Structure formats: structure tokens, C-alpha cells
Amino acid sequence: MTGTVDPDAFNAFEAAGWEERPAGYDDFFGAITTRVVGPLLDAAAVGPGTRVLDVATGPGYVAAEAAARGAFVLGVDVAESMLALARRRHPELEFRSGDAEALWCREGTFDAVVANFLLLHLGRPERAAAEFARVLAPGGRVALTVWDVPAAARLNGVLVDALAEAGAGPPPGLPEGPPFFRFADEGEFAALLHRARFEDVEVRTEAFTHVEASPDSLWDGLMRGTVRMSALVLGQPEATRRRIRAAFDGLVTAYETGGHLALPVSVKLASARKP
């Protein structure tokens, strides 16, 4: 994608997509994204009595762990179906509809703002970072995660490489979005928080291996549990989709071991303090 980004169109596309994917996301990504919940909360100094805002809470993974630490938690998400799943899972917690770029929360309400894999789904990440700073109390902390570059985060990277190998461009009608791996660049990630006037900015890598049963289960998980990436495949003509899948099947052979796939996962985690 190399055109002009319409942030409103992109955000509407993302919001609509996530309304359709709570089960697919939970089934596939739940076992993966929860691996960084502990480090995310540690980076935000979440403990007993901490007032926490969990933005893009999804099924409530981060909110539940924060509450288990004794924090007071509010989870917000743009997708009502995600909120419904979170409420079923964690009826004791509070979840409300919320737009990361225009939070309804009052200034200085929280001691910590956390967002696990949110930024790549926003048309205006700078606006979200400014909102995080606004709702934090002085001395409060923010912690955010994004996927690393495709060469390091092979869970997603094999599909990115398969699209390129198949020569698949964006399908018609897909809204232009910001660069998917923009904040995998540590300097760019740090700059986002510096521009929002945060201090003590730190960006580090969290890496681990995810075991997946087969190429089919990996493919199905990515198709059912993503919005932008699956749209790049599912919006293609059938012949192009077959080329993408053939390239994908060839690439994942590098990660076959003992009858399953062992996929390197790499995540960038940024944290900072409000002065």
C-alpha cells in the first residue's frame, strides 16, 4: 500500500472487521498475545491499587491479569462483540466502549494505560498516544506492544512474505492504512511517545517461540483472527489466492519440526512515564 491514508475510512474498516472476529481472534491469538501480558503490565508498574486503563481490551486478557494483581481496571474496545466476550469471561470487571483516538475518560484518571497490539490498527496513532498522556495522572506510566518486523516475527511474517512472493497487491476497495510495521522500528516507536511528551521512554524486544499444529491451522488462524492481513488475501481473485497459499506452504516448511511448526515470535514493547 502506497497511497494516501484516509484515517477515518481505515478506522471504520478496522472496527467493522473486529466486530466479526472475536471468536477467531480468541481461538488463535489468545495463546500468543497473552505471552506478553506479564511484561506489558510490569513495564506499566501495575500492582495492587493501580488504576489501569486497558485500551483495545479485546477478550479482556490484559484486564483480567491486571485485576489479578490487585489493580482497579477499566477495559475499553471499539468492537462491541469483543466487549461482549470480555464481559462473559470476566463479569466481575468493567468493560466499556471506547475509541483510542478520542477517549471519553477525564484527564488524569489513571496510573497506567496499557494497549496490547493496538497501534497497528489505528489511522492516527499519534492522536491515541496524546490521549494516553491526557488520561494519565502525573507520574503515571504507559506500556504498548506491536509486532516486530516480518523477518523476526515469523508468525505473521510468513504471510507477509507469501503475499510478496505471489505478487499480490492490495485488492480493490481495501482502505489504505498506515505502515503495518512502522513501530517495529525502535526509534519510531520511541519518537511516538516523545512527541506525546512522555519521559523515560524505553523500547525493548520480547521474543519467544509459538508451536502451531500445522500449516493449515496457522493459515486458518491468520484468516479468522486478523483484519487487515486477511483482507489482503481474501479480497484477491481465486487464482491469486491460490498463489499466495502455495507460497505460504513453501515458506512454513522452514519451521516444521517434530510434526508441528515452531514459529519465532518477536514483539516490541515500549513504555514511558508522564511527567
Question: Are the C-beta atoms of residues 154 and 265 closer than 8 Å to each other?
Answer: yes
Question: Are the C-beta atoms of residues 13 and 41 closer than 8 Å to each other?
Answer: no
pLDDT in tens, 69-125: 999 999 999 999 999 999 999 999 999 999 999 999 999 999 999 999 999 999 999
Q: Is the pLDDT assigned to residue 154 strictly greater than 70?
A: yes
Reported confidence tier of residue 2, pLDDT bands at 50, 70, 90: very low
pLDDT value of residue 1: 42
- Cell 486478557, residue located: 61
Question: Are the C-beta atoms of residues 148 and 205 closer than 8 Å to each other?
Answer: yes
Q: pTM (2 decimals)?
A: 0.96
Question: Are the C-beta atoms of residues 57 and 75 closer than 8 Å to each other?
Answer: yes
CA–CA separation, 151 vs 102, rounded Å? Answer: 33
pLDDT in tens, 197-217: 999 999 999 999 999 999 999
pLDDT value of residue 4: 87
